[in-house]
Amino acid sequence: MTLSLRVLGVFALLVCIENPAHAQNQPWCIYKSYGDGYADCRYATLQQCLADRLGTGGSCSPSPYPPAPEPRTRSPRRS
């Protein structure tokens, strides 16, 4: 039983490392009026936010969060 829990733990760790969560810190947010005022900050432009708002309601505003860092890319090695 201990071995199976260890294997499961290692598997869960690998899944979390391989697929990092994508931050939703885009420049524009849609604020829904239900619940606790949920902010969905996944819009790169105001037009994207407004288009999504048409079907669900809410309001669009600039994000109060800092922008997500750009993913690092490896530079090619010099020979």
pLDDT tens, position by position, 41-51: 999 999 999 99
Average pLDDT, the chain: 75
Query: Which helix (H) or strand (E) element contains residue 45?
Result: none
Tell me the domain boundaries of the chain. Answer: 23-65
Each residue's pLDDT tens digit, 3-30: 776 665 555 554 445 444 455 689 999 9
Angle, CA of 8, 14 and 18, to the nearest 5°: 150
pTM, two decimals, is 0.53
